[in-house]
C-alpha cells in the first residue's frame, strides 16, 4: 500500500530525513537510497509517495519513494552480462601466457594484479559507504583505477558487491576505460611500442 506525505528535517549532507504522512500519523525515516532512480535531490517539504516497512529495531522506514507528480523515469539500468567476466578471464590468461613466454615482463603482470586489488577494495569501500550514508568515492577515481589497469579487479568487484554494475552511464564510461587500457597495452607491447619506450627512456634518462 502506498502512502503520501511530505519530507521534513531533511539533511542533504547525510542523505536522510523524515516523512510525515498526509492527514497525520507516525513519521517514518527516509534515506536517499529509498528514492527509486530520482531525477533530483529531495528538499524540505517535498510531497512524496512511499511504502512503509519496519527495520530490525521496529522503526518505520519509507521505501520505494517517488516525488508526487513525477513521471516514472525510463529504465536506464544496464543489464549485467557474461561477456565482461569471460573477457577479463581471457585477458588475464593472455597476460600470464605472454609473461611465461617472455613476451611481457612480470612487472606488467604484477602491476595489473596490484592495481586490480586496489580497485576491488575501492569498490567495496564505496559500496559500504553507500549503504551507511557516508562520503562516497568519486566515480572519476573508480574510472581512473580501471584505466590504469585495475579494470579486471573492478569488474570482479562489480559482480561480488553488486555495485555499479547496473548503472548504464557508469558502465558506458567503464567500458571506454577498458578498451583504452587494452589498446594502450597492445601498442606498448608491439615492436613499435618497445622502440618508442626505449627512445623515451633514453631521452629522459
C-alpha cell at 41: 535531490
pLDDT given for residue 194 in this prediction: 60
Together in a domain, 167 and 121:
yes
Together in a domain, 171 and 88:
yes
Is 48 within a domain? yes
Calculate the average pLDDT of the chain.
86
Cβ–Cβ < 8 Å for 49, 36: no
Domains in the chain: how many in total? 2
Lowest mean pLDDT among 32-36, 59-63, 72-76, 144-148: 72-76
- Supply the DSSP symbol for 110: H
Is 98 within a domain? yes
How many angstroms separate the CA atoms of 167 and 80, rounded?
10
Expressed as residue numbers, the domain containing 123 is: 83-204
Together in a domain, 113 and 162:
yes
pLDDT given for residue 157 in this prediction: 93
User: Which residue would you say has higher pLDDT here, 23 or 79?
Assistant: 23
Secondary structure element (H or E) that encloses residue 96, with its range: helix 83-100
Together in a domain, 110 and 195:
yes
Is 23 within a domain? yes
Per residue in 18-40, pLDDT tens? Answer: 999 998 889 999 999 898 766 78
Is 75 within a domain? no
Together in a domain, 19 and 106:
no
pLDDT given for residue 75 in this prediction: 54
Together in a domain, 88 and 186:
yes
* For the chain, percent of residues with pLDDT exceeding 90: 47
Helices (H), strands (E): how many in the chain?
Answer: 6, 5
How many angstroms separate the CA atoms of 62 and 50, rounded?
6
Query: Which DSSP string corresponds to 122-169?
Result: HHHHHHHHHHHT-PPPPHHHHHHHIIIIIHHHHHHHHHHTT-STTBHH
Residue 68 has pLDDT above 90, yes or no: no
Per residue in 134-144, pLDDT tens? Answer: 888 999 999 99
Average of pLDDT values for 44-51? 92
pLDDT given for residue 102 in this prediction: 81
Nearest alpha carbon to residue 189 among 99, 114, 113, 117: 99
Is 26 within a domain? yes
Per residue in 112-121, pLDDT tens? Answer: 999 999 999 9
Greatest mean pLDDT among 15-19, 101-105, 164-168 lies in: 15-19
CA atoms within 13 A on the CB side of 192: 4
Residue 149 has pLDDT above 80, yes or no: yes
* For the chain, percent of residues with pLDDT exceeding 70: 87
Indicate the length of the chain as a whole number. 205
Nearest alpha carbon to residue 112 among 153, 144, 142: 153
Residue 105 has pLDDT above 90, yes or no: no
Together in a domain, 157 and 182:
yes
Amino acid at each position: 500500500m502506498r502512502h503520501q506525505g511530505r519530507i521534513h528535517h531533511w539533511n542533504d549532507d547525510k542523505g536522510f530525513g523524515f516523512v510525515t504522512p498526509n492527514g497525520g500519523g507516525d513519521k517514518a525515516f527516509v534515506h536517499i537510497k529509498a528514492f527509486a532512480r530520482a531525477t533530483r535531490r529531495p528538499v524540505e517539504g517535498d510531497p512524496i509517495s512511499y511504502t512503509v516497512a519496519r527495520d530490525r529495531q521496529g522503526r518505520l522506514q519509507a521505501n520505494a519513494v517517488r516525488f508526487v507528480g513525477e513521471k516514472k523515469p525510463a529504465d536506464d539500468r544496464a543489464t549485467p552480462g557474461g561477456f565482461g567476466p569471460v573477457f577479463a578471464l581471457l585477458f588475464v590468461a593472455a597476460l600470464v601466457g605472454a609473461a611465461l613466454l617472455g613476451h611481457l615482463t612480470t612487472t606488467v603482470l604484477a602491476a595489473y594484479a596490484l592495481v586490480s586489488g586496489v580497485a576491488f577494495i575501492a569498490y567495496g569501500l564505496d559500496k559500504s559507504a553507500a549503504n551507511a550514508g557516508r562520503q562516497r568515492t568519486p566515480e572519476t577515481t573508480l574510472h581512473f583505477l580501471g584505466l590504469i589497469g585495475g579494470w579486471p579487479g573492478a569488474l570482479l568487484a562489480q559482480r561480488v558487491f553488486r555495485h555499479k554494475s547496473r548503472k548504464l552511464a557508469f558502465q558506458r564510461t567503464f567500458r571506454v576505460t577498458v578498451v583504452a587500457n587494452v589498446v594502450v597495452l597492445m601498442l606498448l607491447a608491439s615492436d613499435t611500442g618497445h622502440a618508442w619506450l626505449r627512445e623515451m627512456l633514453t631521452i629522459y634518462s
